[in-house]
Amino acid sequence: MIFANWKENGSIAMIEDWTYDFLKATDDELLNNVDVGIAPSYIHIQLFKDLLEKAKVMIGSQDVDYGINARTSKVSASMLKDFNVNFSIIGHSEVRNLFNDSNEIIRKKFKTLISNKIQPILCIGESENEFNAKQTLKVLENQLYSVLEGANIENCIIAYEPVWAIGTGKTPEVNLVNDIHEHIKDVVQSATTNNFLPNVIYGGSLNEGNASSFFGQTHIDGSLVGGASLNANSFVKIIKEYSKVK
Ligand code: PEP
């Protein structure tokens, strides 16, 4: 499974060009083989849905709010549901760091997505200091338990995104990522009441050049792609690498 996180990028013209290139470079066989999702800004969701109407591509949001009514500027899970949004990214490190999303807030967002039947992609990851201090597993366990403890879930994807790898061109060793993903799966199984086994995808400076080394690992079930997804041809090359290896 390959997901694109478009962050604060995109315009009508750029999305028209991107979807044209994307549809030219993909076909039904590839899209039936690999689960592909795109998370543009809220205001571009419907445009993507219209332009990719005939393609098997999920459209998601980059965040969600946990409240209703008097919360100016926010978008609720029921609003997303109304637009048939398939998934929603929560806990991205940029949202944690720039907009102060705590684990407690992320837990509320997680719950509202589950009750509206929208698949959460829960992002977790350690900072560079935590990585250097060998705190990675402890940080991830805390992020997972505080959101998932006691949950009974059927569909949730975990995105492991080391904060120091996002948009920096730096990536961890693929073997290490594989071991971390295996650990994440164990933690999610013990945190949830139904021993849910999640797909765990990797994000952080993944591109068409390094994708296959990640996808060759047993516990890496795909990727959340930032920068490299903004070019349709690069994004499709990543999807093709995934299809070849898995
Ligand atoms: C991200 O922000 O989710 C991400 C993976 O970014 P990039 O691929 O640009 O490192």
Over residues 190-214, the pLDDT tens digits come to 999 999 999 999 999 999 999 999 9
pLDDT at 246: 83
What's the token pair of residue 45?
Answer: 């969701």
User: Is the CB of 10 within 6 Å of ligand 1?
Assistant: no
Atom of ligand 1 nearest to the CA of 93: 2
Q: Cα–chain-centroid distance for residue 126? A: 16
**Sign (positive/negative) of CA torsion 144, 147, 152, 156?**
negative
Parallel, antiparallel, or unpaired for β 58-61 and 87-90?
Answer: parallel
Ligand 1, pocket-test mutation among 1, 5, 163, most atoms within 8 A of CB: 5
Q: Is 71 a residue whose pLDDT tops 90?
A: yes
**Exactly one of 94, 161, 208, 241 is catalytic; which is it?**
161
Q: Which segments of the chain does DSSP mark as H helices, in order? A: 12-25, 28-33, 45-51, 77-82, 93-98, 103-115, 128-132, 136-148, 174-191, 211-215, 232-245
Angle at 4 between CA 44 and CA 9, to 5 degrees: 45
The number of the ligand 1 atom at minimal distance from the alpha carbon of 167 is 10
Is 92 known to be catalytic? yes
Q: Burial of 25 by CB count in 10 Å (0-12 exposed, 13-18 middle, 19+ buried)?
A: middle
CB-ligand 1 contact for 4 (6 Å cutoff): no
| Nearest atom within ligand 1 for CA of residue 206 | 8
- Predicted structure pTM score: 0.98
Quick check: 69 pLDDT over 90?
Answer: no
- Alpha carbon distance 70, 180 (integer Å): 40
Over range 54-73, report the average pLDDT. Answer: 96
Cβ of residue 39 lying under 6 Å from some atom of ligand 1: no
- For 134-149, what is each residue's pLDDT tens digit? 999 999 999 999 999 9
Q: Determine if ligand 1 sits within 6 Å of the CB of residue 209.
A: no
Nearest to 31 by CA among 9, 53, 11: 53
163 Cα–ligand 1 center, Å: 9
